[in-house]
Amino acid sequence: MINNRMFETYKVLTTQCILKNSFVFLLIHMLNLLSTLIGVLAVLSTIIAFVPIFGWVYWVIVPLALFGAVLGLLSEKTTGRNLNLVVVLIGIFTLFLGSGLS
């Protein structure tokens, strides 16, 4: 038979494990949300940077989107990562064409 003290210890350890796993689960989903929000901000900045006088904004957009992609890599889902990688590719291609010099 299991005595009462062993049962209480098991209950405390199980509760701590569930809370820890819940926190990790929440953190992983928050990273995806944060990555997606950074990607949306980068997309909106990319639309603004299409105006020739704001071509220099790509120099800010690319590192921002790379940071969002890293957060997306740490996440369980791929939405934020994919969005940020598309923004990075668009930004690098536009900088390659010379738009970031204006």
Give the pLDDT of residue 14.
61
CB 46 within 8 A of CB 40: no
Q: How far is it, in rounded angstroms, from Cα 62 to Cα 56?
A: 11
Q: H helices within the chain, ranges in order?
A: 4-49, 58-74, 79-97
Percent of the chain whose pLDDT exceeds 90:
47
- Is the pLDDT higher at 20 or at 77? 77
Residue 61 has pLDDT above 70, yes or no: yes
Percent of the chain whose pLDDT exceeds 70:
72
Q: Hey, how many other C-beta atoms are within 10 angstroms of the C-beta on 31? A: 21
The phi and psi torsions of 70 (rounded to 5 degrees) equal -65, -45
pTM of the full structure: 0.74
Give the pLDDT of residue 12.
61
Per-residue buried b or exposed e for 32-66, using 16+ beta carbons within 10 Å of the residue's own CB: bebbbebbeebbebbeebeeeeebebbeebbebbb
Helix (H) or strand (E) holding 101: none
